Amino acid sequence: MKNYILLLLCLAIACTGNKSEKTSADDTKSTETYVHEGTSYEVPYFPLKEAFFGEQHMHTAVSMDAFIAGTRLTPDDAYRFAQGEEIMVNGSMHKIKRPLDWTAVTDHSEFLGETFTLLNEGTPGYDHPVATAMREAKDLKEALGLYKKYVLDVLAGGGDPHPPFYQGPQAAISSWKNNFEATEKNYKPGKFTTIHAYEWTSAPNTANLHRNVFFRDTNLPEVPFSSNEGADPEQLWAWMKIQKDKGIKVFAVPHNPNESKGYLFAEETLSGKPITKEYVETRAAMEPLVEMMQIKGNSEVVPDFWPNDEFADFENAVSIQQYNGRVFEKRNFIRWGLGRGLKYREEFGTNPFKYGFVGGTDSHNGTPSNVEEDNYSVGSHGLVDKTAEDRVKNELDGELYARDANPGGLTAVWATSNTREAIWDGMHAKETYATSGPRIKVRVFAGQGFKSSYESYEALVKDGYEKGVPMGGNYSGNSAPEFLVWAIKDPIGPGLDRIQIIKGWVENNEIRDTIFNVVASDNRLLPDGSVTPIDAPVNLKTGEFDKTKGAPELMGVWKDPQFNPDQQAFYYVRILQLPTGRWNLFDEIRNPGLKFPEDTKKEIVERAWASPIWYEPTVKSK
């Protein structure tokens, strides 16, 4: 087993290179010729796919709320930060600890024209008194007051959503063009991928129904569709359908279910009509993924509704409930939504919530995936949380306490190359997983006839694809599925604790779920399925984690002991690592005398969530 672990570690390191000449058909990496906009590139090609880590949700100064909060970084700055360049952030030089493989800048489509005017000297409207006041506001309070007066209050009253310096649709078109140019400029096939994207930001009754919208290539609309043109998701999907009919390849990703007030995993349409077959089919065609985690919390589960999940108490951002009436409900969370989707499939033959998982930050600093807990020294939302003192006392955009936020998550995509089309295709196929920040690698396959051990990582993955389906797929066998699961720790993180499988199903019209421990480090998995606790505390004086315990790699095969061939189900894998210090612990270490409230956790158990695999027996749709 030690040799196997060493081999896996070596393979994990070897797969991070940029170029390799093909030496045989069985190599795990070779090269291919890739053509983008008429230029050819030789890029690394991974027949068995590689996990590419990236950011799918972040904002720059092109987003009005980020600009108001003091952010001045542009999409070009964000892409350079993602590649490891040191950038001035909130008044200090800052860089990501490890470059990303890919990034999508998702600025709000609402007010694109306004920020074009605010950011570009010499454009019409730049010297308008309101624009000048917004740009030169002496502090956050003044800036937010202007934003409230000229944008939020007008919107609430049903008036023109645009402030008086707005120069019309052409300004938004120009802003989108600038974003396009930055995205193309920073695209380096095989090394760093940029994805054309934006955020559609709808908040009916203050519920978060936001979606990030992703395009496969440079075939794009002239300007994005915003919630100013249509605040109902059905209007967004109708617009997307028009784009698809034009040959544009596009999908949307909902985020922040935890702030959705029950509207995201809907029981009726936003207009109050019953859910129909057309609705579920349209939604399933437009939205393959959902955001599991970001700065404003983890949307998997909360202890209130899953008291038997011992790891549910993780970055729940409970102070969200003190703002905008966003009180937690069970139907706000992804595990419940997956189960509700099964019920809709029973009724209509299609599952509208058949979501794979992604993670992101929602940073409004222009800093993609600044997710390491000990590197969160500049916060995430401009002037609101730029210093440790701010993070102790301030609120984050009227949504939650700054101390209740977290640095955010990552998305890993299994793809054959680090190219735009391959990353987009991997996301569309749901062969993705989310992490709370660590770069854990995860493989999951469901099928039959897997071995209990393999001589190499390559052999494991080949067998997985040959005998089963990967994360995001459908298991189609008639007997109980076997799950081949594998994970390797973040190279700079602690050892792994365990791998779990969460199963959900519907029984007697009730959504049910349960958790199975599949494999645990140090032979701690007991015959009854429980796991002996591990004592691996964080050093609260230095922030160091335990380096002596846990596993560098875990692998196992699990068979569902409760399988019912007539009962549809979802299964997703959750990987837990050993405890590490939370970002506020490092704030206190760096700033002697600084103290967060006692209820602020100093340790966390970071994790990864693999996209589900579904079992879908034939159902009689109505």
Helical (H) or strand (E) element with 230: none
Task: State whether 422 and 464 are in the same domain.
Answer: no
Task: State whether 358 and 493 are in the same domain.
Answer: no
Tokens of 280: 């579920």
Give tens-digit pLDDT for 445-485.
999 999 999 999 999 999 999 999 999 999 999 899 999 99
Task: State whether 217 and 287 are in the same domain.
Answer: yes
Structural domain containing residue 371? 52-428
Residue 11 belongs to a domain:
no
Residue 25 belongs to a domain:
no
Residue 398: the pLDDT is 80
Task: State whether 453 and 424 are in the same domain.
Answer: no
Average pLDDT, the chain: 93
Residue 622: the pLDDT is 47
Q: Which of 106, 546, 579 is nearest to 373 (CA)?
A: 579
Task: State whether 413 and 462 are in the same domain.
Answer: no
For 328-362, letters b (16+ CB in 10 Å) and e give bbbbbbbbbbbbbbbbbbbebbbbbbbbbbbbbbb
Give tens-digit pLDDT for 388-438.
999 999 998 789 999 999 999 999 999 999 999 999 999 999 999 999 999
Residue 31's Cβ-count burial label (10 Å; 0-12, 13-18, 19+) is middle
Among the three residues 377, 393, 428, which one is the final residue of a domain in this structure? 428
Task: State whether 476 and 416 are in the same domain.
Answer: no
Q: Are 482 and 557 in contact (CB under 8 A)?
A: yes
pTM score above 0.75: yes
The alpha carbon dihedral of 182, 187, 192, 196 has a sign of positive
Residue 38 belongs to a domain:
no
Task: State whether 122 and 249 are in the same domain.
Answer: yes
Place of tokens 């996301």: 427
Answer whether residue 8 shows pLDDT above 70: no
For 251-260, letters b (16+ CB in 10 Å) and e give bbbbbbbbbb
Tokens of 596: 């967060």
Q: Are 367 and 89 in contact (CB under 8 A)?
A: yes
Among the three residues 428, 457, 477, which one is the final residue of a domain in this structure? 428
How many whole angstroms separate alpha carbon 149 and alpha carbon 129?
14
Give tens-digit pLDDT for 112-162.
999 999 999 999 999 999 999 999 988 888 988 888 888 777 666 667 788
Residue 9 belongs to a domain:
no
Task: State whether 464 and 417 are in the same domain.
Answer: no
Among the three residues 395, 428, 461, which one is the final residue of a domain in this structure? 428
Residue 305 belongs to a domain:
yes
How many domains are there within the chain? 2
Task: State whether 422 and 500 are in the same domain.
Answer: no
Residue 396: the pLDDT is 85
Residue 29 belongs to a domain:
no
Task: State whether 147 and 257 are in the same domain.
Answer: yes
Residue 37 belongs to a domain:
no
Answer whether residue 27 shows pLDDT above 80: no
